[in-house]
Amino acid sequence: MITAFVFDAYGTLYDVQSVAELVERTFPGHGDYITQLWRLKQLEYSWLRSLGGDYADFWTVTRESLSYTLGTLGITPDESLFAEIAGAYNALRPYPDAESCLAGLTGFRRAIFSNGSPEMLSAMVGNSSLAPHLEAVISVDAKQVYKPDPRSYRMVEEALGVRPSEVLFVSSNGFDVCGAKRAGFKVARIERVSNASLAHELASSATIGPKIFYKAQRLQPETYGEVADYTVSALGQLPDLIRSISHAP
């Protein structure tokens, strides 16, 4: 029986694309490129650090990946401007249906489990309206290993005192879906870009720009063995999903 909903933060409850406005204002014409490559390198560096046993918190990873991205354009901003851009990850906007989703799950335990550092998550959640709907915000920082390493997911059981079988884990990230499934959670995947819509966009686009490439790279289900138990196209569908599960024979 599901007693707890545990949400990934980046790309699931909070929109990583919302940094694009600041980036485009700061570097006109490069906003889309920087936004997408920054996020891709951010994830890659988290995995490299986990594999290499060289943990540094997600703020460090975020700054390293931004430095890499700007470096590909030959840009070296001064420290104050660099800090301002990096800080956009501390003020990501929630998806429009995030708050209503969490409110619709009243009666269930609700928490975030994220790669973000405690300071980043505290700032991001505190800057939004989601905090009153969350029992806990859990960071991998306590175990110093990033998702999808199996050690990280044990933190959910430790923090909430729930068995994996009692958790419905929610993520839009394919690697996170796989990791959570292997940890024994039931998993709901948020499919914001379907394969059919991506295929249509690719077929109708004269060029494959950074955003389309990002959708293909990060917003499709992985194919190496683990699949979500449930797939919905938006967070707002989760309250109806749990009602249908609860009434299933």
pLDDT value at residue 206: 85
pLDDT, tens only, 40-65: 999 999 999 999 999 999 999 999 99
Residue 248: the pLDDT is: 52
Write the pLDDT tens digit of every residue in 111-125. Answer: 999 999 999 999 999
pTM: 0.95
| pLDDT tens digits, 150-161 | 999 999 999 999
234: nearest Cα among 101, 110, 112:
101
Asked if residues 168 and 4 have their Cβ atoms less than 8 Å apart, the reply is yes
Q: Are 62 and 236 in contact (CB under 8 A)?
A: no
Q: Which residues are catalytic?
A: 8
Beta strands in 40-92 (DSSP E): none
* Tokens at 244, concatenated: 């249908």
Domains, the chain: 4-16+92-246 (3.40.50.1000), 17-90 (1.10.150.240)
Low-confidence ranges of the chain (pLDDT < 50): 249
